[in-house]
Structure 1
Amino acid sequence: MREVIVRTISGVLYILIVIFSMYTSREWFMALFFLLGILVLKEFLKLVHLTSYIAYVLLAAGLYFLSYNTFADQAVNIYLILSCFVCLFLFKDMLWTSKIPMFEKKKYITTIFYIISGFVFLTLIPFSNGTFMPEIIVAVFSLIWANDTMAYVIGKSFGKHKLLERISPKKTIEGFLGGLGGSLIAGFIIFKLTNIYNLPIWLCLALIASVFGTIGDLVQSKFKRQAGVKDSGNLMPGHGGLYDRLDSVVYASPFIFAFLEIVDYVS
Protein backbone atom coordinates (compact mmCIF):
# COMPACT_ATOMS: atom_id res chain seq x y z
CA MET A 1 0.00 0.00 0.00
CA ARG A 2 2.82 2.40 0.87
CA GLU A 3 4.40 1.83 -2.55
CA VAL A 4 1.11 2.61 -4.30
CA ILE A 5 0.69 5.84 -2.31
CA VAL A 6 4.25 7.00 -3.03
CA ARG A 7 3.89 6.19 -6.74
CA THR A 8 0.55 8.01 -6.89
CA ILE A 9 1.78 11.17 -5.15
CA SER A 10 4.96 11.49 -7.23
CA GLY A 11 3.02 10.66 -10.40
CA VAL A 12 0.34 13.29 -9.69
CA LEU A 13 2.96 15.96 -8.95
CA TYR A 14 4.73 15.13 -12.20
CA ILE A 15 1.48 15.36 -14.20
CA LEU A 16 0.53 18.68 -12.57
CA ILE A 17 3.91 20.18 -13.49
CA VAL A 18 3.54 18.97 -17.08
CA ILE A 19 -0.02 20.28 -17.43
CA PHE A 20 0.89 23.66 -15.91
CA SER A 21 3.74 24.15 -18.36
CA MET A 22 1.62 23.05 -21.31
CA TYR A 23 -1.10 25.59 -20.60
CA THR A 24 1.15 28.63 -20.16
CA SER A 25 2.85 29.23 -23.52
CA ARG A 26 4.59 27.40 -26.31
CA GLU A 27 7.95 28.63 -25.03
CA TRP A 28 7.33 27.24 -21.55
CA PHE A 29 6.16 24.01 -23.15
CA MET A 30 9.37 23.68 -25.16
CA ALA A 31 11.50 24.70 -22.17
CA LEU A 32 9.90 22.01 -20.01
CA PHE A 33 10.56 19.25 -22.50
CA PHE A 34 14.08 20.47 -23.10
CA LEU A 35 14.72 20.20 -19.36
CA LEU A 36 13.07 16.77 -19.18
CA GLY A 37 15.11 15.73 -22.23
CA ILE A 38 18.36 16.78 -20.56
CA LEU A 39 17.56 14.80 -17.40
CA VAL A 40 16.46 11.67 -19.28
CA LEU A 41 19.43 11.91 -21.63
CA LYS A 42 21.79 12.19 -18.66
CA GLU A 43 20.34 9.02 -17.12
CA PHE A 44 20.43 7.17 -20.45
CA LEU A 45 24.05 8.10 -21.20
CA LYS A 46 25.04 6.90 -17.74
CA LEU A 47 23.12 3.68 -18.32
CA VAL A 48 24.94 2.90 -21.59
CA HIS A 49 28.30 4.16 -20.27
CA LEU A 50 28.63 6.98 -22.78
CA THR A 51 30.20 10.33 -21.88
CA SER A 52 29.16 12.87 -24.48
CA TYR A 53 28.40 16.58 -24.44
CA ILE A 54 27.55 16.38 -28.13
CA ALA A 55 24.37 14.49 -27.26
CA TYR A 56 23.01 17.52 -25.36
CA VAL A 57 23.83 19.78 -28.31
CA LEU A 58 22.00 17.38 -30.62
CA LEU A 59 19.00 17.41 -28.28
CA ALA A 60 18.85 21.21 -28.34
CA ALA A 61 19.33 21.31 -32.12
CA GLY A 62 16.67 18.65 -32.70
CA LEU A 63 14.10 20.43 -30.55
CA TYR A 64 14.79 23.80 -32.17
CA PHE A 65 15.23 22.93 -35.86
CA LEU A 66 12.79 20.01 -36.09
CA SER A 67 10.11 21.13 -33.66
CA TYR A 68 10.10 24.76 -32.48
CA ASN A 69 11.29 26.27 -35.75
CA THR A 70 11.01 23.45 -38.29
CA PHE A 71 13.31 24.19 -41.22
CA ALA A 72 11.94 21.45 -43.54
CA ASP A 73 8.98 19.10 -43.34
CA GLN A 74 10.93 16.55 -45.38
CA ALA A 75 13.63 16.46 -42.68
CA VAL A 76 10.99 15.72 -40.03
CA ASN A 77 9.53 12.91 -42.15
CA ILE A 78 12.95 11.33 -42.74
CA TYR A 79 13.77 11.60 -39.04
CA LEU A 80 10.40 10.02 -38.22
CA ILE A 81 11.00 7.05 -40.53
CA LEU A 82 14.50 6.46 -39.18
CA SER A 83 13.34 6.78 -35.58
CA CYS A 84 10.51 4.27 -36.03
CA PHE A 85 12.94 1.93 -37.79
CA VAL A 86 15.47 2.10 -34.93
CA CYS A 87 12.76 1.66 -32.28
CA LEU A 88 11.43 -1.43 -34.07
CA PHE A 89 14.97 -2.81 -34.24
CA LEU A 90 15.28 -2.27 -30.49
CA PHE A 91 12.06 -4.24 -30.07
CA LYS A 92 13.41 -7.03 -32.27
CA ASP A 93 16.70 -7.16 -30.38
CA MET A 94 14.85 -7.17 -27.08
CA LEU A 95 12.93 -10.29 -28.10
CA TRP A 96 15.53 -12.35 -29.92
CA THR A 97 19.00 -11.44 -28.71
CA SER A 98 20.65 -11.90 -25.34
CA LYS A 99 22.09 -8.38 -25.54
CA ILE A 100 20.92 -5.35 -27.49
CA PRO A 101 23.75 -4.78 -30.02
CA MET A 102 23.07 -1.04 -30.13
CA PHE A 103 23.74 -0.92 -26.40
CA GLU A 104 27.32 -1.99 -27.03
CA LYS A 105 28.28 -0.76 -30.51
CA LYS A 106 25.85 1.89 -31.71
CA LYS A 107 25.18 4.08 -28.72
CA TYR A 108 24.85 7.30 -30.71
CA ILE A 109 22.22 5.70 -32.95
CA THR A 110 20.01 4.88 -29.97
CA THR A 111 20.72 8.28 -28.43
CA ILE A 112 19.69 10.19 -31.56
CA PHE A 113 16.89 8.02 -32.94
CA TYR A 114 15.42 6.73 -29.68
CA ILE A 115 15.93 9.17 -26.79
CA ILE A 116 16.31 12.51 -28.60
CA SER A 117 13.69 11.64 -31.21
CA GLY A 118 11.27 10.74 -28.42
CA PHE A 119 11.36 14.32 -27.15
CA VAL A 120 11.33 15.87 -30.62
CA PHE A 121 8.12 14.05 -31.52
CA LEU A 122 6.57 14.65 -28.11
CA THR A 123 6.88 18.37 -28.77
CA LEU A 124 5.55 17.95 -32.32
CA ILE A 125 2.42 16.01 -31.31
CA PRO A 126 0.47 19.16 -30.24
CA PHE A 127 1.09 20.58 -33.74
CA SER A 128 -0.14 17.53 -35.62
CA ASN A 129 -3.16 19.44 -36.95
CA GLY A 130 -1.30 22.66 -37.78
CA THR A 131 -1.96 24.66 -34.61
CA PHE A 132 -0.63 24.42 -31.07
CA MET A 133 -3.17 22.37 -29.09
CA PRO A 134 -1.74 21.33 -25.70
CA GLU A 135 -4.88 19.28 -25.04
CA ILE A 136 -3.54 16.62 -27.40
CA ILE A 137 -0.27 16.04 -25.56
CA VAL A 138 -2.06 16.14 -22.19
CA ALA A 139 -4.38 13.45 -23.57
CA VAL A 140 -1.43 11.35 -24.77
CA PHE A 141 0.19 11.53 -21.32
CA SER A 142 -3.18 10.60 -19.79
CA LEU A 143 -3.43 7.52 -22.02
CA ILE A 144 0.09 6.43 -21.04
CA TRP A 145 -0.57 7.14 -17.37
CA ALA A 146 -3.85 5.19 -17.45
CA ASN A 147 -2.08 2.25 -19.10
CA ASP A 148 0.80 2.23 -16.58
CA THR A 149 -1.46 2.65 -13.56
CA MET A 150 -3.99 -0.03 -14.51
CA ALA A 151 -1.24 -2.41 -15.61
CA TYR A 152 0.37 -2.04 -12.18
CA VAL A 153 -2.89 -2.39 -10.23
CA ILE A 154 -4.27 -5.35 -12.22
CA GLY A 155 -0.89 -7.06 -12.46
CA LYS A 156 -0.30 -6.68 -8.73
CA SER A 157 -3.75 -7.99 -7.86
CA PHE A 158 -4.46 -10.66 -10.47
CA GLY A 159 -1.25 -11.26 -12.43
CA LYS A 160 -0.36 -14.95 -12.78
CA HIS A 161 0.99 -15.40 -16.31
CA LYS A 162 4.33 -13.74 -17.05
CA LEU A 163 4.58 -11.49 -20.09
CA LEU A 164 8.36 -11.60 -20.68
CA GLU A 165 9.85 -12.95 -17.47
CA ARG A 166 13.48 -12.95 -18.63
CA ILE A 167 13.29 -9.20 -19.26
CA SER A 168 10.81 -7.94 -16.68
CA PRO A 169 9.85 -10.58 -14.09
CA LYS A 170 7.01 -8.54 -12.57
CA LYS A 171 5.11 -7.86 -15.81
CA THR A 172 2.17 -10.16 -16.49
CA ILE A 173 -0.26 -10.76 -19.33
CA GLU A 174 -3.12 -9.82 -17.01
CA GLY A 175 -1.35 -6.55 -16.21
CA PHE A 176 -0.84 -5.79 -19.89
CA LEU A 177 -4.52 -6.43 -20.66
CA GLY A 178 -5.52 -4.34 -17.65
CA GLY A 179 -3.34 -1.49 -18.88
CA LEU A 180 -4.84 -1.78 -22.36
CA GLY A 181 -8.33 -1.64 -20.90
CA GLY A 182 -7.43 1.36 -18.75
CA SER A 183 -6.02 3.20 -21.76
CA LEU A 184 -9.12 2.46 -23.86
CA ILE A 185 -11.39 3.72 -21.07
CA ALA A 186 -9.25 6.85 -20.81
CA GLY A 187 -9.55 7.30 -24.58
CA PHE A 188 -13.35 7.11 -24.33
CA ILE A 189 -13.39 9.67 -21.49
CA ILE A 190 -11.11 12.02 -23.46
CA PHE A 191 -13.44 11.73 -26.46
CA LYS A 192 -16.37 12.76 -24.24
CA LEU A 193 -14.47 15.74 -22.83
CA THR A 194 -12.99 17.07 -26.07
CA ASN A 195 -14.04 17.63 -29.67
CA ILE A 196 -10.63 17.21 -31.31
CA TYR A 197 -10.96 13.72 -32.79
CA ASN A 198 -13.74 11.16 -33.13
CA LEU A 199 -14.02 8.04 -30.97
CA PRO A 200 -12.27 5.54 -33.32
CA ILE A 201 -9.20 7.81 -33.49
CA TRP A 202 -9.00 8.13 -29.71
CA LEU A 203 -9.36 4.37 -29.31
CA CYS A 204 -6.60 3.81 -31.88
CA LEU A 205 -4.42 6.30 -30.00
CA ALA A 206 -5.15 4.43 -26.77
CA LEU A 207 -4.16 1.14 -28.43
CA ILE A 208 -0.92 2.62 -29.81
CA ALA A 209 -0.07 4.25 -26.48
CA SER A 210 -0.68 1.01 -24.59
CA VAL A 211 1.13 -1.39 -26.92
CA PHE A 212 4.12 0.79 -27.80
CA GLY A 213 4.27 2.21 -24.28
CA THR A 214 4.57 -1.32 -22.90
CA ILE A 215 7.25 -2.16 -25.47
CA GLY A 216 9.12 1.00 -24.46
CA ASP A 217 9.02 -0.06 -20.82
CA LEU A 218 10.35 -3.51 -21.75
CA VAL A 219 13.12 -2.06 -23.93
CA GLN A 220 14.24 0.09 -21.02
CA SER A 221 14.12 -2.93 -18.71
CA LYS A 222 16.42 -4.71 -21.16
CA PHE A 223 18.85 -1.77 -21.08
CA LYS A 224 18.82 -1.76 -17.27
CA ARG A 225 19.31 -5.51 -17.12
CA GLN A 226 22.34 -5.25 -19.41
CA ALA A 227 23.68 -2.37 -17.32
CA GLY A 228 23.10 -4.33 -14.11
CA VAL A 229 20.98 -1.68 -12.37
CA LYS A 230 17.48 -1.65 -10.89
CA ASP A 231 16.58 1.97 -11.71
CA SER A 232 17.95 4.55 -14.14
CA GLY A 233 18.16 7.06 -11.28
CA ASN A 234 16.50 8.18 -8.04
CA LEU A 235 15.10 11.57 -9.01
CA MET A 236 11.44 10.64 -8.50
CA PRO A 237 10.41 8.84 -5.27
CA GLY A 238 8.55 5.63 -6.05
CA HIS A 239 9.45 5.78 -9.75
CA GLY A 240 13.26 5.62 -9.76
CA GLY A 241 14.75 7.95 -12.37
CA LEU A 242 12.95 10.23 -14.78
CA TYR A 243 13.83 7.84 -17.59
CA ASP A 244 12.00 5.12 -15.64
CA ARG A 245 8.91 7.31 -15.66
CA LEU A 246 9.08 8.51 -19.26
CA ASP A 247 10.35 5.35 -20.98
CA SER A 248 6.88 4.46 -22.31
CA VAL A 249 6.01 7.83 -23.82
CA VAL A 250 9.54 8.40 -25.21
CA TYR A 251 9.38 5.14 -27.14
CA ALA A 252 5.75 5.53 -28.24
CA SER A 253 5.88 9.19 -29.34
CA PRO A 254 7.20 8.65 -32.93
CA PHE A 255 4.45 6.09 -33.59
CA ILE A 256 1.77 8.34 -32.07
CA PHE A 257 2.97 11.28 -34.15
CA ALA A 258 3.05 9.13 -37.31
CA PHE A 259 -0.54 8.01 -36.69
CA LEU A 260 -1.74 11.59 -36.15
CA GLU A 261 0.03 12.69 -39.32
CA ILE A 262 -1.79 9.96 -41.26
CA VAL A 263 -5.10 11.02 -39.67
CA ASP A 264 -4.53 14.67 -40.63
CA TYR A 265 -3.51 13.72 -44.17
CA VAL A 266 -6.55 11.50 -44.70
CA SER A 267 -8.95 14.04 -43.21
Structure 2
Amino acid sequence: MSNFWKRAISGFLFVIILTGCIFLHPICFFVLFFIINIVGLYEFSKMARRMEIYINLPIYLFCGSLLFTAGFLDAYIGYRDGYLWCFLATFVMSIWELYRKKVNSFQNLAFSYYGLLYLSLPFTLLIYLPYMTSDEWRPEIVFFPFLLVWFNDTFAYLFGSRFGKHKLFPRISPKKSWEGAIGGGICTIGAALFIAPYLEGLTVYNNIIIACIVVFFGIYGDLLESMFKRNIEIKDSGSIMPGHGGVLDRFDAVLFVIPAIFVYLEFVY
Protein backbone atom coordinates (compact mmCIF):
# COMPACT_ATOMS: atom_id res chain seq x y z
CA MET A 1 0.00 0.00 0.00
CA SER A 2 1.37 3.42 -0.98
CA ASN A 3 2.19 6.05 1.63
CA PHE A 4 -0.61 8.26 0.28
CA TRP A 5 -3.27 5.65 0.98
CA LYS A 6 -1.79 4.88 4.39
CA ARG A 7 -2.00 8.55 5.29
CA ALA A 8 -5.51 8.87 3.88
CA ILE A 9 -6.93 5.81 5.65
CA SER A 10 -5.25 6.43 9.02
CA GLY A 11 -6.16 10.14 8.85
CA PHE A 12 -9.79 9.31 8.09
CA LEU A 13 -9.99 6.80 10.96
CA PHE A 14 -8.35 9.32 13.30
CA VAL A 15 -10.96 11.96 12.48
CA ILE A 16 -13.85 9.50 12.83
CA ILE A 17 -12.67 8.16 16.19
CA LEU A 18 -11.86 11.61 17.60
CA THR A 19 -15.16 13.12 16.45
CA GLY A 20 -17.20 10.14 17.61
CA CYS A 21 -15.69 10.02 21.09
CA ILE A 22 -16.14 13.77 21.59
CA PHE A 23 -19.80 13.76 20.56
CA LEU A 24 -20.96 10.38 21.92
CA HIS A 25 -20.47 10.95 25.65
CA PRO A 26 -18.04 12.69 28.05
CA ILE A 27 -16.85 9.27 29.27
CA CYS A 28 -15.90 8.30 25.70
CA PHE A 29 -13.99 11.57 25.41
CA PHE A 30 -12.22 10.83 28.70
CA VAL A 31 -11.18 7.31 27.68
CA LEU A 32 -9.84 8.40 24.28
CA PHE A 33 -7.85 11.34 25.56
CA PHE A 34 -6.62 9.40 28.57
CA ILE A 35 -5.03 6.98 26.09
CA ILE A 36 -3.76 9.81 23.86
CA ASN A 37 -2.23 11.50 26.90
CA ILE A 38 -0.42 8.31 27.97
CA VAL A 39 0.90 7.60 24.47
CA GLY A 40 2.05 11.21 24.04
CA LEU A 41 3.91 11.15 27.37
CA TYR A 42 5.57 7.88 26.38
CA GLU A 43 6.67 9.32 23.02
CA PHE A 44 8.12 12.35 24.79
CA SER A 45 10.11 10.09 27.15
CA LYS A 46 11.49 8.13 24.18
CA MET A 47 12.58 11.37 22.51
CA ALA A 48 14.28 12.45 25.75
CA ARG A 49 16.10 9.10 25.95
CA ARG A 50 17.86 9.86 22.67
CA MET A 51 19.55 12.71 24.54
CA GLU A 52 20.49 10.42 27.43
CA ILE A 53 17.68 11.81 29.57
CA TYR A 54 16.03 9.00 31.52
CA ILE A 55 12.56 9.94 32.70
CA ASN A 56 11.15 7.80 35.51
CA LEU A 57 8.43 6.34 33.31
CA PRO A 58 6.08 4.70 35.90
CA ILE A 59 5.65 7.75 38.15
CA TYR A 60 5.79 10.13 35.17
CA LEU A 61 2.89 8.35 33.43
CA PHE A 62 1.05 8.12 36.74
CA CYS A 63 1.36 11.89 37.32
CA GLY A 64 0.16 12.66 33.80
CA SER A 65 -2.78 10.28 34.14
CA LEU A 66 -3.67 11.70 37.54
CA LEU A 67 -3.59 15.28 36.27
CA PHE A 68 -5.93 14.53 33.37
CA THR A 69 -8.25 12.44 35.55
CA ALA A 70 -8.34 15.16 38.22
CA GLY A 71 -9.37 17.71 35.61
CA PHE A 72 -12.15 15.49 34.30
CA LEU A 73 -13.52 14.72 37.77
CA ASP A 74 -13.44 18.40 38.69
CA ALA A 75 -15.22 19.59 35.55
CA TYR A 76 -17.68 16.69 35.26
CA ILE A 77 -18.72 16.01 38.87
CA GLY A 78 -17.07 18.82 40.85
CA TYR A 79 -14.52 16.64 42.68
CA ARG A 80 -11.40 18.78 43.10
CA ASP A 81 -9.31 16.78 45.54
CA GLY A 82 -7.77 14.90 42.64
CA TYR A 83 -5.49 17.87 42.06
CA LEU A 84 -4.12 17.49 45.59
CA TRP A 85 -3.17 13.88 44.89
CA CYS A 86 -1.55 14.94 41.62
CA PHE A 87 0.42 17.65 43.44
CA LEU A 88 1.60 15.07 45.97
CA ALA A 89 2.59 12.62 43.22
CA THR A 90 4.92 15.18 41.62
CA PHE A 91 6.79 15.44 44.95
CA VAL A 92 7.07 11.65 45.04
CA MET A 93 8.56 11.79 41.54
CA SER A 94 11.26 14.17 42.78
CA ILE A 95 12.06 12.07 45.86
CA TRP A 96 12.15 8.89 43.77
CA GLU A 97 14.87 10.41 41.60
CA LEU A 98 17.20 10.40 44.62
CA TYR A 99 17.11 6.59 44.67
CA ARG A 100 17.35 5.87 40.95
CA LYS A 101 21.11 6.42 40.64
CA LYS A 102 20.71 7.64 37.08
CA VAL A 103 22.98 10.11 35.33
CA ASN A 104 21.61 13.59 34.52
CA SER A 105 19.23 13.58 37.49
CA PHE A 106 18.47 17.29 37.16
CA GLN A 107 17.65 16.94 33.46
CA ASN A 108 15.59 13.81 34.15
CA LEU A 109 13.31 15.75 36.49
CA ALA A 110 13.26 18.88 34.33
CA PHE A 111 12.14 16.91 31.27
CA SER A 112 9.57 15.06 33.37
CA TYR A 113 7.95 18.26 34.59
CA TYR A 114 8.10 19.84 31.15
CA GLY A 115 6.47 16.75 29.61
CA LEU A 116 3.54 17.12 32.01
CA LEU A 117 3.30 20.83 31.24
CA TYR A 118 3.61 20.33 27.50
CA LEU A 119 1.20 17.38 27.15
CA SER A 120 -1.02 16.59 30.12
CA LEU A 121 -1.88 20.19 31.04
CA PRO A 122 -3.31 21.17 27.60
CA PHE A 123 -5.44 18.01 27.46
CA THR A 124 -6.66 18.78 30.99
CA LEU A 125 -7.56 22.37 30.06
CA LEU A 126 -9.49 21.05 27.05
CA ILE A 127 -11.96 19.43 29.47
CA TYR A 128 -12.92 22.84 30.87
CA LEU A 129 -13.65 24.63 27.58
CA PRO A 130 -17.36 23.67 27.29
CA TYR A 131 -18.03 24.47 30.95
CA MET A 132 -16.59 27.96 30.49
CA THR A 133 -19.42 28.91 28.14
CA SER A 134 -22.25 27.03 29.87
CA ASP A 135 -22.93 24.72 32.83
CA GLU A 136 -23.03 21.52 30.80
CA TRP A 137 -20.93 19.35 28.51
CA ARG A 138 -20.89 20.94 25.05
CA PRO A 139 -19.07 18.62 22.62
CA GLU A 140 -19.16 21.16 19.78
CA ILE A 141 -17.06 23.57 21.88
CA VAL A 142 -14.47 20.81 22.47
CA PHE A 143 -14.47 19.88 18.79
CA PHE A 144 -14.20 23.47 17.55
CA PRO A 145 -10.42 23.95 18.11
CA PHE A 146 -9.62 20.65 16.39
CA LEU A 147 -11.75 21.59 13.40
CA LEU A 148 -10.03 24.96 13.06
CA VAL A 149 -6.57 23.40 13.38
CA TRP A 150 -7.45 20.95 10.61
CA PHE A 151 -8.67 23.81 8.42
CA ASN A 152 -5.53 25.78 9.10
CA ASP A 153 -3.17 22.86 8.41
CA THR A 154 -4.99 21.79 5.24
CA PHE A 155 -5.23 25.20 3.59
CA ALA A 156 -1.76 26.26 4.73
CA TYR A 157 -0.45 23.16 2.92
CA LEU A 158 -2.51 23.85 -0.21
CA PHE A 159 -1.57 27.53 -0.43
CA GLY A 160 2.04 26.79 0.45
CA SER A 161 2.32 24.10 -2.22
CA ARG A 162 0.82 26.36 -4.87
CA PHE A 163 2.14 29.82 -4.00
CA GLY A 164 4.85 29.32 -1.37
CA LYS A 165 8.02 31.29 -2.16
CA HIS A 166 9.00 33.05 1.07
CA LYS A 167 10.13 30.72 3.86
CA LEU A 168 8.44 31.19 7.21
CA PHE A 169 11.08 29.60 9.45
CA PRO A 170 13.68 27.83 7.27
CA ARG A 171 15.99 26.90 10.16
CA ILE A 172 13.30 24.69 11.74
CA SER A 173 10.79 23.88 9.01
CA PRO A 174 12.05 24.58 5.46
CA LYS A 175 8.73 23.63 3.81
CA LYS A 176 6.57 26.20 5.59
CA SER A 177 6.00 29.50 3.80
CA TRP A 178 4.45 32.88 4.57
CA GLU A 179 2.03 32.39 1.68
CA GLY A 180 0.84 29.13 3.19
CA ALA A 181 0.48 30.63 6.66
CA ILE A 182 -1.49 33.63 5.38
CA GLY A 183 -3.71 31.54 3.09
CA GLY A 184 -4.40 29.04 5.85
CA GLY A 185 -5.14 31.83 8.31
CA ILE A 186 -7.65 33.55 6.04
CA CYS A 187 -9.47 30.27 5.34
CA THR A 188 -9.52 29.39 9.04
CA ILE A 189 -11.08 32.73 9.98
CA GLY A 190 -13.61 32.27 7.17
CA ALA A 191 -14.47 28.80 8.51
CA ALA A 192 -14.95 30.22 12.01
CA LEU A 193 -17.37 32.82 10.66
CA PHE A 194 -19.31 30.15 8.79
CA ILE A 195 -19.53 27.92 11.89
CA ALA A 196 -20.43 30.79 14.27
CA PRO A 197 -24.25 30.46 13.96
CA TYR A 198 -24.05 26.81 15.03
CA LEU A 199 -22.07 27.40 18.24
CA GLU A 200 -24.16 28.49 21.20
CA GLY A 201 -22.30 30.36 23.90
CA LEU A 202 -19.71 31.87 21.57
CA THR A 203 -20.30 35.14 19.73
CA VAL A 204 -19.04 35.85 16.23
CA TYR A 205 -16.36 38.04 17.81
CA ASN A 206 -15.30 35.15 20.06
CA ASN A 207 -15.07 32.85 17.05
CA ILE A 208 -12.85 35.27 15.14
CA ILE A 209 -10.49 35.69 18.11
CA ILE A 210 -10.33 31.92 18.64
CA ALA A 211 -9.57 31.43 14.93
CA CYS A 212 -6.74 33.99 15.19
CA ILE A 213 -5.42 32.14 18.25
CA VAL A 214 -5.47 28.87 16.30
CA VAL A 215 -3.57 30.42 13.39
CA PHE A 216 -0.90 32.10 15.53
CA PHE A 217 -0.33 29.54 18.27
CA GLY A 218 -0.86 26.58 15.94
CA ILE A 219 2.12 27.66 13.86
CA TYR A 220 4.35 27.92 16.92
CA GLY A 221 3.14 24.61 18.32
CA ASP A 222 4.06 22.97 15.02
CA LEU A 223 7.45 24.69 14.92
CA LEU A 224 8.27 23.75 18.51
CA GLU A 225 7.72 20.05 17.89
CA SER A 226 9.72 20.31 14.65
CA MET A 227 12.54 21.87 16.66
CA PHE A 228 12.47 18.95 19.11
CA LYS A 229 12.65 16.40 16.30
CA ARG A 230 15.35 18.27 14.40
CA ASN A 231 17.41 18.54 17.57
CA ILE A 232 17.44 14.75 18.08
CA GLU A 233 17.41 13.96 14.35
CA ILE A 234 14.19 11.98 14.00
CA LYS A 235 11.40 12.27 11.43
CA ASP A 236 8.39 11.36 13.61
CA SER A 237 7.73 11.24 17.34
CA GLY A 238 6.15 7.79 17.00
CA SER A 239 4.44 5.39 14.63
CA ILE A 240 0.97 4.95 16.09
CA MET A 241 -0.62 6.48 12.96
CA PRO A 242 0.78 5.03 9.72
CA GLY A 243 1.89 7.82 7.41
CA HIS A 244 1.30 10.50 10.06
CA GLY A 245 3.69 9.61 12.88
CA GLY A 246 2.85 9.74 16.55
CA VAL A 247 0.61 11.61 18.96
CA LEU A 248 2.99 14.56 19.17
CA ASP A 249 3.03 14.85 15.39
CA ARG A 250 -0.78 14.93 15.23
CA PHE A 251 -1.41 17.18 18.23
CA ASP A 252 1.58 19.53 18.08
CA ALA A 253 -0.51 22.56 17.10
CA VAL A 254 -3.41 21.67 19.41
CA LEU A 255 -1.08 21.47 22.43
CA PHE A 256 -0.31 25.18 22.05
CA VAL A 257 -3.75 26.26 20.87
CA ILE A 258 -5.81 24.88 23.78
CA PRO A 259 -4.03 26.72 26.63
CA ALA A 260 -4.26 29.98 24.68
CA ILE A 261 -8.00 29.51 24.06
CA PHE A 262 -8.47 28.62 27.73
CA VAL A 263 -6.77 31.85 28.84
CA TYR A 264 -8.86 33.90 26.40
CA LEU A 265 -12.16 32.35 27.51
CA GLU A 266 -11.16 32.75 31.15
CA PHE A 267 -10.80 36.50 30.61
CA VAL A 268 -14.02 36.71 28.57
CA TYR A 269 -16.25 34.60 30.85
Q: TM-score range by the shorter chain?
A: 0.7 to 0.9
Residues 155 and 180 in structure 2, CA contact (< 8 A), matched pair in contact too: yes
The question of 1:23 aligning with 2:23 is answered yes
The Cα of 1:186 is off from its aligned counterpart by: 1.6
CA distance in 2 between counterparts of 1:32 and 1:209 reads: 22
Residues 162 and 170 in structure 1, CA contact (< 8 A), matched pair in contact too: yes
Aligned to 1:13: 13
What amino acid maps onto 1:123 in structure 2?
I
Aligned to 2:90: none
State the secondary structure of the residue aligned to 1:220. Answer: helix
The question of 1:131 aligning with 2:136 is answered yes
Task: Check 1:201–1:211 CA distance in 2 against 1; reply closer, same or farther (3 A cut).
Answer: same
The Cα of 1:153 is off from its aligned counterpart by: 1.1
Task: Check 1:224–1:14 CA distance in 2 against 1; reply closer, same or farther (3 A cut).
Answer: same
What's the CA shift string for 1:137-189, capped at 9, x where partnerless?
11111011101111111111111111110111111111111221121122112
Aligned to 2:237: 232
Task: Check 1:142–1:223 CA distance in 2 against 1; reply closer, same or farther (3 A cut).
Answer: same
Structure 2 gap segments, 5+ residues each: 88-105
CA distance in 2 between counterparts of 1:4 and 1:177 reads: 26
Sequence identity (%): 34
Residues 187 and 203 in structure 1, CA contact (< 8 A), matched pair in contact too: yes
Aligned to 2:124: 120
Q: Which has the greater radius of gyration?
A: 2
Task: Check 1:238–1:178 CA distance in 2 against 1; reply closer, same or farther (3 A cut).
Answer: farther
- CA RMSD of superposed structures (Å): 2.4
With normalisation by structure 2, the TM-score equals 0.81
With normalisation by structure 1, the TM-score equals 0.81
CA distance in 2 between counterparts of 1:238 and 1:103 reads: 32
Task: Check 1:71–1:109 CA distance in 2 against 1; reply closer, same or farther (3 A cut).
Answer: same
Residues 73 and 79 in structure 2, CA contact (< 8 A), matched pair in contact too: no
Structure 1 gap segments, 5+ residues each: 80-101
